[in-house]
Amino acid sequence: MTSAADPSIAEAAHHEDGARSAFYDVGAHARLWIVAGAALALDLWTKSWAFAVLGPNDVHTAIPAILTFRRSINPGALFGMGRGLVGLFIVASFVALAFVMYLFAGSRPNRRSLHVALSFVLAGSLGNLYDRTFISADRIAFKDNDGRSQPEFYGRVVSDAHADYVEVGSPPDGLPPVRRIRRSDIADIRRVGIVRDFLKFEPRVAGRDVWPWVFNVADSLLVAGVGLLMINFWMDRRAEIRAANEGGPT
| Cα–Cα distance measured from residue 223 to residue 240, given in angstroms and rounded to the nearest whole number | 26
Return the domain boundaries, the chain: 22-60+94-135+206-245, 136-193
pLDDT of residue 93: 86
- Is the pTM higher than 0.95? The answer reads no
* Rg, the chain, Cα only: 25
Residues forming beta bridges with residue 157, ordered by sequence position:
168
| Cα–Cα distance measured from residue 180 to residue 158, given in angstroms and rounded to the nearest whole number | 10
pLDDT of residue 78: 60
Count the neighbouring beta carbons within 10 Å of the beta carbon of residue 50.
21
**Cα 198 → chain centroid:** 13
| Cα–Cα distance measured from residue 154 to residue 135, given in angstroms and rounded to the nearest whole number | 13
H or E stretch at 18: helix 7-19
pLDDT of residue 80: 58
| Cα–Cα distance measured from residue 160 to residue 169, given in angstroms and rounded to the nearest whole number | 13
pLDDT of residue 250: 47
pLDDT of residue 77: 65
pLDDT of residue 18: 52
Residues forming beta bridges with residue 72, ordered by sequence position:
197
Count the neighbouring beta carbons within 10 Å of the beta carbon of residue 78.
15
* Tens place of pLDDT per residue across the chain (250 aa): 444 444 443 343 444 455 689 999 999 999 999 999 999 999 999 999 999 999 999 999 999 999 999 999 998 766 556 666 777 878 888 898 999 999 999 999 999 999 999 999 999 999 999 999 999 999 999 877 766 777 788 999 999 878 899 999 999 999 998 999 899 889 889 999 999 999 999 998 888 888 999 999 999 999 999 999 999 999 999 988 888 888 655 4
Cα separations in angstroms, 88 against 82, 95, 99, 120, 193? 9, 11, 16, 21, 11
DSSP letters of 35-61? HHHHHHHHHHHHHHHHHHHS-TT-EEE
The top-level CATH class assigned to 136-193 is: mainly beta
pLDDT of residue 62: 96
pLDDT of residue 84: 62
The 3-state secondary structure of 182-227 reads EHHHEEEEEEEECEEEEEEECCEECCEECCCCEECHHHHHHHHHHH
Count the neighbouring beta carbons within 10 Å of the beta carbon of residue 184.
9
pLDDT of residue 91: 86
